[in-house]
Chain A
Amino acid sequence: MKLYDLKDMLIRLASGLVGGLRGRPPVPFSVLYKKFKGILERHNAILELIGDMGDKLGGDYVYDRQYILDSCERLGDQVFKLISDLNLLCQGKNVALFAAFERIQQRVRAELAGRRVLSRTDHILPLSELTHDLADEGGNKMASLGDIRNILGFPTPQGFVITAGAYFEVMERAGLRKTAAETVQALCDHDGEGLEEKARVLRQAVLTMPLPRELRRSIERAVEKLTELTAKPGDGEPLFAVRSSAWDEDSESSFAGMYETVLGVGAAGILDAYRQVLASLFCEEALRYRLHHGLCGEEPAMAVGVMPMVDALVSGGLYTYAPLREQEQAMVVSAAWGLGKPIVDGTAETDTYILLREPPHDIVSSDIAEKSTRLALDKGGGTRTVPVAEAERGAPCLTPAQLALLAKTAMTLEHFFKRPLDVEWALTPDGALTVLQARPLSIRPADSCARTEDAAVAAKGAKVLLSGRGITAMGGVSAGPVHLVTEGEDPAGFPYGAVLVARHSSPRFAKVMPKCRGIITDVGSATGHMATIARELRVPTLVQTGSATRTLREGQEITLDADHQVVYEGLVEALCQFELVREDVFEESWEYRTLKRVLKHISPLTLLDPKSEGFTPEACRTFHDIARYVHQRSVDKLTSLAETHKDIRESAPRQLITRLPLGLTVIDVEGGLSPAAAAGGADPGAEPGEADIACRPLRALMEGLNASGMWDTNPVAVDMGSFMSSVTRTLGAEASHPTRMGRNLAVISREYLNLHLRLGYHFTVVDAFIGGAMNDNAIAFRFMGGVTDLSRRSRRATLIAAILERSDFLVEVKGDMVTGRIKKHPTRIMLDKMFLIGALIGYTRQLDAKLDTDGDVALHQDIFLQQFTALRETRE
């Protein structure tokens, strides 16, 4: 649809609305329902497109610049139309939503045009908010530390970063931004002529430049806040580490170690240290590096991290991949008492431990040095070297348990960053491990070609367990023992370093993902919630393999090559090595980085809770947010229409003849009943029966409900008549026509069900859409009980919540009301969930008198799930 058509339509709609107020007939429900379905379809198309773009980050596809441009164009178009659709459904204009769209669209275009868009304009960002998504603001090094802390959940120091945006402003105000860019460009043009002098002049200017007052104030405030957070009574003057975090620093082999880090800085010295770090951006070494790597055209930028000095009992470094000839599969730990600077500088005597890279990371050797001095924090400020107590000099700094923890942590980081790493760490006096920094370790063996060939040969000799089946949700290679996670099992005890193998993908796996080497599922989608988290955590993931749970055995050592959709038996070491030493890491290409930056404005979902006050068009920050908002509003709208629309209030309701006397009235919007039954609408004798239900969610629910009576072996006799007696009571003459509440009413189409069901004293609402595209599949289930005493009611709520949770619903309990939601699973699974809801409604109906103790909750949960599993198997 062209823009002017749309405007025209909006105008006509607006006048139509006014006309409606004047008494013109409202839009028929069936028309609105079609519009609703249209929104679902477009919403789905948008999510697919976003998912497709996200998939490209996963590593399975080859694409180029044109793809990125085309996709952004198509997506923008679809989102615009989605907003227009919502306006049609709700018959109102949504100016704020269009404005949000316009804002996002502009950011996307700016990214494509090559201007980095800093999504946060703050000059200061706390480390707790930093991840690689904010790498442009926080610089690479601090963003990596943010990933370690905020995504992987390892302890790091607290701290904040003075952003790249602040750098630009400072330089701009001092009149140096242009000079800097020109100097860099001129050096390249003249092949580094006069580099030494030019670099010196530039550095001098930066070291003495004034800092804008607001920035000074912001930094001072941030330091104060940080001190409040971290200072303990009895500490001397707090000391800080001021670290460089430049653009491109610590990306592959880039600028490693060239920029300045100032340690042991008191609060008063931070601004000077800040200038010092900024000036190092123009140190000779870095400029020469720029020159030789063709980075002249890129404007340099420096973010700066400020963190309290960690009062370390023991510090050290760890190479996850030892640069030793005979120990190539090993990692090396060096450690000494006190602060880490002398270790990094190489001036201290250190203990050296060599550990195996593979879990459980056995210690190959420990070389304990005589450590006569250590660097300590001086209460008066700064650091000083002090003697080590006699007894500790020859003692190992680390226990085997500490080494194991260190090894696990470092390997998890390596798997995330997909590179061998140099990890700086510290143990605090309370024994806690803190990660100070992790940077890529450049290992480029001279014989890398030979290595490549080895990789191919080794992979060729390995036994293939699975091949050519499955969808790559996140690329990469990893190895480990198989751990099968069964349906409904709590994965909390998942063993570190194993490969998770499960029947269905589930967001429940999120919490154990940092421990996983890889994920393989029989069923799942590359655009689902789990896949998104796997990509966020960079866990190689293969979904939809069909048979992994049958082919792979618990504990079996495997190597997963998610790129090629192959699972090998045993550890194919050469393949894993290849992954670590390959030269061109896709994640560093222009295409990857640009797509990723564009996606920042597209795919994160920041609008989460529809009940919160922040769920507004103004709050939409990404296209995904807009899609989510429109989806929610349209579902709300349809739900309210199903209850209030004139067509439904006035239409002749049809009584559904059911095996259980539910007294259910149905309103068929479109295809919810068989054509024959639908056609018999005018005939009063031709009431539809269960066989006439074409509505898939209702059908599945009825099956579960009917089946529920068959498996109570306990004395509570279930006489079908009395089972539902209370139901019939609620359906007096006045109830034969649906009124607002308490009626048993189903609004149905072939895929849609909106059900209000009162059975005895239980009131259930089910809203489900199942059978269209997978991304549209959604069930919302609400259960409220009554009558019995409060503790029983809450037990019942606990029971239902537990069962729903074990069945992958997202559950919320408020008093004795339980709400469960589940979305975006394949239709077969969603129908199975409807079957479960039916069974659950029936089962809890029988439970009323039984929940005497809290222990009964667990018991009945098990009984239900056991019986349900048996029932489901017979059904299948």
Chain B
Amino acid sequence: MTPDAKENLASVPAQDPGGDAPRRRTSILVLDDEPIVCKRLKPFFQKAGYEVEAFNQPLEALARIETRRFDVVITDLKMEGLDGLSFLGKVKALHPDTDVILITGFATMETARQSFRKGVFDCVAKPFKLAELLDGVRRIEKERGLSS
């Protein structure tokens, strides 16, 4: 457990308890060729009130972003077929205001740092805490003025 992650999370305002008129939910696309990652992230974000689509196949995800825009894309860096950075490029080209969080293995952290130059919003290293990722998504929402 990293206390920092906790503190960050605590400092972000929690869900708005007042609940004005129902606003559009923040949408998230998850792409990871490890099925376990999708299986975990999808219900987690759904339960936290997000609209989520999850993909194991990069090409399927690619087809999907061509048909619609997501507020947030969470993608693994290393995948068979298409790597996370290329996917990032496509997402940014199609939807410049979509923010991308990159999931990286321990060994690829250096690549991840380089990816910041390509417009990645945040990186998390596996294994990561669900709360860390939620923290990242909440920061995106804050910066973009999205409701959570």
From known contacts A62-B37, A64-B34, infer whether A464 and B130 are also in contact, taking CB-CB under 8 Å.
Answer: no
Mask, B33-69, CB within 8 Å of A = 1, is 0101101111110111110000000000000000000
Contact A60 B36 (CB under 8 A): no
Known: A66-B126, A455-B47, A468-B9. A589 touches B36 (CB 8 A): yes
Tell me, rounded to whole Å, the shortest Cβ–Cβ distance linking B96 to chain A.
Answer: 28
Most buried by B among A459, A467, A468, A575: A468
Q: How many angstroms from the CA of A471 to the CA of B3 in the assembled complex?
A: 9
Rounded to whole Å, the gap between the CB of A874 and the closest CB of chain B is 31
Could you give, for residues 4-44 of chain B, a 1 whenever the CB lies within 8 Å of some chain A CB and a 0 otherwise? Answer: 00100110101111010010010000000010110111111
User: Taking beta carbons and an 8 Å cutoff, which residues of A are in contact with B?
Assistant: 55-56, 60-67, 70, 452, 455-457, 459-464, 467-472, 477, 526, 561, 563-566, 575, 578, 582-584, 586, 589-591
Question: Do B127 and A456 have beta carbons less than 8 Å apart?
Answer: no
A468's partner among B12, B22, B106, B129 (CB-CB below 8 A) is B12
B130–A62 touching, CB < 8 Å: yes
User: Shortest Cβ distance from A373 into chain B, in angstroms?
Assistant: 47
In the complex, what distance in Å separates the CA atom of A575 from the CA atom of B48? 9
Whether A64 pairs with B130 at a CB distance below 8 angstroms is no
B34 and A61 contacting across the interface, CB-CB below 8 Å: no
Cross-interface CB contact of B127 among A61, A469, A471, A589, cutoff 8 Å: A61
Contact B46 A455 (CB under 8 A): yes
A460 CB contacts on chain B under 8 angstroms: 15-16, 19, 49
Whether B1 and A566, one on each chain, are in contact in the complex, defined by CB atoms closer than 8 angstroms, is no
Residue in A66, A462, A469 whose beta carbon sits within 8 Å of that of B6 in the complex:
A469
Distance between Cα atoms of A55 and B1 in the complex (Å): 10
- Count of chain B residues with a beta carbon within 8 Å of a chain A beta carbon: 36
Give the residues in chain B near A566, CB-CB below 8 Å.
14
Inter-subunit contact B22/A457 (CB<8 Å): yes
Contact B17 A64 (CB under 8 A): no
Please list 29 pairs of residues, one from A and one from B, whose beta carbons are closer than 8 Å in the complex, sorted by A's number: A56-B127, A60-B129, A61-B128, A62-B41, A62-B126, A62-B133, A63-B126, A63-B127, A64-B36, A64-B37, A66-B126, A456-B47, A456-B48, A464-B15, A467-B14, A467-B15, A468-B6, A468-B12, A471-B1, A471-B6, A477-B47, A526-B1, A563-B44, A563-B47, A564-B130, A564-B131, A565-B131, A583-B43, A584-B43
What's the nearest-Cβ distance from chain A to residue B12, in Å?
7
Please give the distance in Å from B45's CB to the nearest CB on chain A: 9
Residues of B within 8 A of A565 (CB): 9, 131
A66 contacts B105, C-beta separation under 8 Å = yes
Q: How many angstroms between the C-alpha atoms of A56 and B39 in the bound complex?
A: 15
With an 8 A cutoff between CB atoms, is B79 at the interface?
Answer: no
Which residues of chain A are within 8 angstroms of B25 by Cβ–Cβ distance? 456
B109 at the interface (CB under 8 A from A): no
Q: A468-B10, A584-B43 are in contact. Are A61 and B15 (CB under 8 A)?
A: no
Contacts of A64 in B (CB 8 A): 34, 36-37, 126-127
Residue pair B131, A459 in contact (C-beta under 8 Å): no
Contact residues in B for A463 (Cβ distance below 8 Å): 17
Contact assessment for A464 and B17 in the assembled complex, using a CB-CB cutoff below 8 Å: yes
By a CB distance below 8 angstroms, the chain A residues around B15 are 459-460, 464, 467
Q: What residue in chain A is nearest B37 (Cβ atoms)?
A: A62
Q: Are A469 and B10 in contact (CB under 8 A)?
A: yes
Given the known interface contacts A61-B129, A64-B34, the answer about A564 and B134 at a Cβ–Cβ threshold of 8 Å is: yes
The answer to whether B40 touches A62 (Cβ under 8 A) is: yes
CA distance A60 to B15 in the complex (A): 20
Supposing A66-B105, A457-B22, A566-B14 touch, asked if A575 and B47 sit within 8 A by C-beta, the answer is yes
Nearest CB in chain B to that of A68: its residue: B127
Residue with the greatest number of chain A CB neighbours at <10 A, chosen from B6, B16, B22, B127: B127
Q: Which of B10, B17, B105, B129 has the most CB of A within 10 A?
A: B17
Is B49 touching A459 in the complex (CB atoms < 8 A)? yes
In the complex, the chain A residue whose C-beta lies closest to that of B11 is A468
Give the top 10 A-B pairs by smallest Cβ distance, nearest first. Answer: A63-B127, A467-B14, A456-B49, A468-B9, A468-B10, A584-B39, A64-B34, A67-B127, A62-B40, A591-B36
Residue of B nearest to A564 (CB): B48
Q: How far is the CA of A461 from the CA of B16 in the complex (A)?
A: 8
Given A460-B49, A468-B14; 9 other pairs, CB 8 A cutoff: A62-B126, A62-B130, A65-B34, A456-B47, A459-B47, A467-B10, A467-B14, A575-B47, A583-B43
Q: Which residues of A contact B128 (CB under 8 A)?
A: 61-62
**B14 x A589 contact (CB < 8 A):** no
Shortest Cβ gap from B109 to chain A (Å):
14
What's the minimum C-beta distance from A160 to chain B, rounded to whole angstroms?
36
Cβ-defined contact, A60 with B130, below 8 A: yes
Give the distance to chain A from B132, nearest Cβ to Cβ, in Å. Answer: 9
Q: Which residues of A contact B36 (CB under 8 A)?
A: 62-64, 589-591
Closest to B19 in A: A461
B6 cross-chain contacts in A, Cβ below 8 A: 468-471
Contacts of B129 in A (CB 8 A): 60-62
Report the minimum CB–CB distance from A121 to chain B (whole Å): 31
A332 to B113, CA, bound (A): 56
Residues of A within 8 A of B49 (CB): 456-457, 459-460
Minimum CB–CB distance for A65 against chain B, Å: 8
For A455, give the chain B residue with the smallest CB separation: B47
Q: Bound state CA distance, A60 and B37, in angstroms?
A: 12
Q: How far is the CB of B49 from chain A (nearest CB, A)?
A: 4
Chain B residues whose CB sits within 8 angstroms of the CB of A461 once the complex forms: 19
| Bound-complex Cα distance A477 to B48 (A) | 12
User: Closest approach, in angstroms, between the C-beta of B14 and any C-beta of chain A?
Assistant: 4
Are A67 and B19 interface neighbours, CB within 8 A?
no
> Which residue of chain A lies nearest to B76 when distances are taken between CB atoms in the complex?
A64
B70 CB, nearest partner CB in chain A, Å: 16
Bitwise, B89-127 to A at CB < 8 A (1) or not (0) is 000000000000000011000000000000000000011
| CA gap between A395 and B93 in the complex, in Å | 74
Chain B residue with the shortest CB-CB distance to A66: B105
Q: Which residues of B contact A564 (CB under 8 A)?
A: 44, 47-48, 130-131, 134
CA distance A779 to B105 in the complex (A): 41
**For A472, what are the chain B residues with a Cβ–Cβ distance below 8 Å?**
131
Q: Kindly state the separation between the CA atoms of A70 and B105 in the bound complex, as whole angstroms.
A: 12
CB neighbours (8 Å) of A55 from chain B are 1
Q: Quick one: which of A467, A470, A586 contacts B40, CB cutoff 8 A?
A: A586
Q: How far is the CA of A69 from the CA of B40 in the complex (A)?
A: 20
* Cβ of B8 to closest chain A Cβ, rounded Å: 9
Give A455 to B42 CA distance when docked, in angstroms: 14
With CB as the reference atom, state the residue of chain A lying closest to B46: A452
Q: Which of B12, B50, B105 contacts A456 (CB 8 A)?
A: B50
Once the chains are docked, how many angstroms separate the CA of A467 from the CA of B12?
Answer: 10
* Cα of A563 to Cα of B106 in the assembled complex, Å: 24
Q: Say how far A462's CB is from chain B's closest CB, in angstroms.
A: 8
Q: Is the CB of A67 within 8 A of B126?
A: yes
CB distance from B139 to the nearest CB of A (A): 13
Shortest distance between the CB of A387 and any CB in chain B (Å): 52
Could you tell me the distance between the alpha carbons of A561 and B15 in the complex, rounded to whole angstroms? 14
In the complex, how many angstroms separate the beta carbon of B131 from the nearest chain A beta carbon? Answer: 6
Instruction: Give complex CA distance A61, B127 in Å.
Output: 7
A66 and B104 CA atoms in complex are apart in Å by 12
Please indicate the chain A residues that have their CB under 8 angstroms from the CB of B1 in the complex: 55, 471, 526
In the assembled complex, which residues on chain A have CB atoms less than 8 Å from the CB atom of B48? 456, 459, 564
Contacts of B106 in A (CB 8 A): 70
Chain B residue with Cβ nearest A475:
B130
- Of chain B, the residue at the smallest CB distance from A591 is B36
Contacts of A563 in B (CB 8 A): 44, 47, 130
Distance between B123 CB and nearest chain A CB, rounded to angstroms = 14
Q: Please measure, in the bound complex, the distance between the C-alpha atom of A743 and the C-alpha atom of B42, giving whole angstroms.
A: 65
Residue of B nearest to A583 (CB): B43
Tell me, in angstroms, the Cα distance from A591 to B6 when the chains sit together. 26
- Nearest CB of A to B101, in Å: 13
CB distance from A558 to the nearest CB of B (A): 14
CA distance A97 to B87 in the complex (A): 51
Q: How far is the CA of A495 from the CA of B82 in the complex (A)?
A: 55
Closest chain-B Cβ to A152's Cβ sits at a distance in Å of 26
Most buried by B among A65, A457, A460: A460
Q: What separation, in Å, do the CA atoms of A586 and B42 have in the docked complex? A: 12
